[in-house]
């Protein structure tokens, strides 16, 4: 079952003296978060209204309704912001990282079970998926179409065609 509210970023500090917050984005970019007029705290239980937001370096600077001083802003430090998945339309073939973690990973040709996708690593050029086998050994596979052949969130499965030798092939 997909979560309604997804982690979007963390408030890491304040900016200036008028209550602006510095947010470290946990999504594709700080720019992505500028689209939202409402975000949430407390795992989605507390909506906060965004009065303004702008990108500054790798961070998002935002002003929340009712936060008009550095003292008030400082009370938000280290809080996680969430977004409502219903407020986002992803293009085909794009997924929320939080939905990918936990997928069972299978070989697209042999249907051999490799393990569970346990982590998405952001490397710059492309993401890398960490797959943890039943023996707790971790494997890394580039998240590119040549290797990732199918993702079915409803069935909780990912079909891959791995690089030869990545899973200790004995061929």
Q: 55 exposed, middle or buried (CB, 10 Å; 0-12, 13-18, 19+)?
A: middle
Q: Could you tell me the pTM of the whole model?
A: 0.77
What CA–CA distance (Å, rounded) separates 129 from 151? 13
- Of 60, 64, 82, nearest to 73 by C-alpha is 64
What CA–CA distance (Å, rounded) separates 85 from 83? 6
Find the mean pLDDT for residues 101-114.
95
Residues 39-79 have pLDDT tens digits of 999 998 999 999 999 999 989 999 999 999 999 999 999 99
Q: 33 exposed, middle or buried (CB, 10 Å; 0-12, 13-18, 19+)?
A: buried
Residues 116-145 have pLDDT tens digits of 999 998 887 888 999 999 999 999 999 999
């Amino acid at each position: 079952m997909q979560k309604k509210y997804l982690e979007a970023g963390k408030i890491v500090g304040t900016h200036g003296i008028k209550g602006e917050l510095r947010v470290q984005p946990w999504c594709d970019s700080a720019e992505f978060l500028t689209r939202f007029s409402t975000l949430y705290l407390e795992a989605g239980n507390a909506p906060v209204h965004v009065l303004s937001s702008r990108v500054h370096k790798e961070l998002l600077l935002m002003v929340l309704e009712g936060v008009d001083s550095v003292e008030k802003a400082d009370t938000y430090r280290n809080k996680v912001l969430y977004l409502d998945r219903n407020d986002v339309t992803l293009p085909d073939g794009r997924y929320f990282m939080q939905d990918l973690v936990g997928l069972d990973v299978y070989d697209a040709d042999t249907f051999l079970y490799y393990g569970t996708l346990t982590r998405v690593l952001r490397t710059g050029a492309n993401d890398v998926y960490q797959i943890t086998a039943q023996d707790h050994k971790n494997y890394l596979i580039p998240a590119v179409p040549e290797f990732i052949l199918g993702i079915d969130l409803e069935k909780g499965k990912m079909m891959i065609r791995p690089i030869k030798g990545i899973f200790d092939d004995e061929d």
